[in-house]
Amino acid sequence: MAKYGSFPGARPRRLRTSPVMRRMVAETRLHPADFILPAFVREGVGEPVPIGAMPGVVQHTRDSLKKAAVEAAEAGVSGIMLFGVPEDTKKDALGTAGTDPDGILQVALRDVRAEVGDDLLVMADLCLDEFTDHGHCGVLDDQGRVDNDATLERYAEMAQVQADAGAHVVGPSGMMDGQIGVIRDALDQIGREDVAILAYTAKYSSAFFGPFREAVGSSLRGDRQTYQQDPANWRESLRELALDLEEGADMVMVKPAGPYLDVLARVADAVDVPVAAYQVSGEYAMIEAAAEKGWIDRDRAILEALTGIKRAGARTILTYWATEVARTLG
């Protein structure tokens, strides 16, 4: 082909010529402080219990959870989000184990806070689904529907108990109308203005939550489509966002992350508070399963997925690979 002057004049490939060049001009960078580690602690077990659908993830004992928290802190991870898994015999219609000061989640919060102090943000999932015998995120009425306002009363009590147990941050994940305002008031009433709220602002009714049900020993009957968001919609996420901010959310979240990068980008563009995204169990499981079969490069796929989430606007990412990736980046 004949050359005309310096054709082609624009050569973007010059900025891709070497690893050091690509690193210098990278528009998005991952850092250990970007990550929060979700972790499960199970009552009444003597050894960590592997989660079949999530290779490499376990239901922790109290001791192994403390070790995992220390490892996360040493790797530079910012926080650990705790989910409690009570014994089946302690589940009931109201999820009372979730507000018992001696329930597994509160015990674990105290354990971890005593172990890491303020070196790691200790966060608590604020929801009833792990503790109810029906597996829903709230209290049911006499027709079997989730009663929004009765559930808010339970959330208020749960927030206070979690704060007393040492949580720096509470993460209301039930998608009840008005939950942020009620929780903020409940915390302020006991003088805990210091406890932050990470609002699960846009939480979709997603098939990608499947492995999580095993992780928390879910007793769910039916589905959560009457309170979690419809995957077809994004505008209602902005309405939920406005309400959460008005009610006092300190940070907001989109969940799942990967299938909802468009929603994440819109939320990030709309706010001046920190935005988080939760790379959920199904996203984790797909990469691990494909890598196990040799179909993809596991490590590259993990970093690519996390980079995409950050590029879309997440300042913070909840991921089961938090400690592993933080060590790699370190």
* Binding positions: 213, 224, 240, 281, 320
Give the CA count within 13 Å in the CB-facing half-sphere of 308: 15
Which residue has tokens 């993990």?
Answer: 302
28, burial (CB in 10 Å: exposed 0-12, middle 13-18, buried 19+): exposed
The single-letter code of the amino acid at 142 is D
Binding region for Mg(2+)? 240
- The active-site residue out of 67, 203, 293, 310 is 203
Decide if 3 is catalytic.
Answer: no
Which residue has tokens 């929780």?
Answer: 183
Distance CA 202, CA 284 (A): 19
Q: Is 167 helix (H, G, I), strand (E, B) or coil?
A: coil
Decide if 255 is catalytic.
Answer: yes
Binding region for 5-aminolevulinate? 213, 224, 281, 320
> Is the backbone of residue 24 left (phi > 0), alpha (psi -120 to 50) or beta?
alpha
- The active-site residue out of 66, 91, 255, 310 is 255
DSSP string, 115-154: HHTTSSEEEEEE-STTTBSS--SS-B-TTS-B-HHHHHHH
Instruction: Just list the catalytic residues.
Output: 203, 255
